[in-house]
Amino acid sequence: MRGFTYDQLAARIVFGADTARTELASEVDRLDAQRVLAIASTRDTARVAALLAPLGERVVGTFTEVREHVPTATAEAARAAAKTADADLLLAIGGGSTVGAAKAVAMTARLPIIAVPTTYAGSEVTPVWGLTENGRKTNRAVSIYPIVHGSD
């Protein structure tokens, strides 16, 4: 498959075979990020470790408490992790809940997101984010800070 790059207002999509492995560090460089907080579940630790390795010491923390439908407590814990790490970039590796957790942080901390989707949930290409509180999920459509997508 031929690769492509697609720029759109608040989003940049970098797509192609092995793009996450070959372009991730340059996308982090493009955003001039020095303190990356990785957000990933514990479902695929080997893949996450392989993607983070080239970033070296720029990865200042990993938030793994990702939960489906992003409970408010998860969003708050992710925000605290970003603050503690003094992150200047969020790197979400995983499915829609992982990207959703990153969006919840980005909206309050005003941080850019690089998303490496491992499923097609749609969260990685929409400005919609939601939280679940008391068993009820609410969605919001808001403009978000830049998300760069790399296929894996």
d(C-alpha 82, C-alpha 3), whole Å: 32
Residues 23-77: tens digit of each pLDDT: 999 999 999 999 999 999 998 899 999 999 999 999 999 999 999 888 899 999 9
Mean pLDDT of 125-142: 71
Q: What is the pLDDT of residue 145?
A: 46
Quick one: which of 95, 88, 30, 45 has its CA closest to 67?
95
Q: Which ranges in the chain belong to alpha helices (H)? A: 19-30, 45-52, 72-85, 96-109
Could you give the domains of the chain?
4-150 (3.40.50.1970)
Task: Please give the pLDDT value at position 88.
Answer: 97
Each residue's pLDDT tens digit, 62-114:
999 999 888 899 999 999 999 999 999 999 999 989 999 999 898 888 899 99
DSSP lists the bridge partners of residue 141 as 128
Q: Please say if the pLDDT value at position 1 is more than 90.
A: no
**Residue 35's pLDDT is what?**
98
Spatial neighbors of 12 by CB under 8 A, at least 6 apart, are: 5, 6, 146, 147, 148, 149
What pLDDT does residue 131 have?
74
Note the pLDDT of residue 144. 47
| The predicted structure's pLDDT at residue 107 | 83
Asked whether the predicted pLDDT for residue 7 surpasses 70, the reply is no
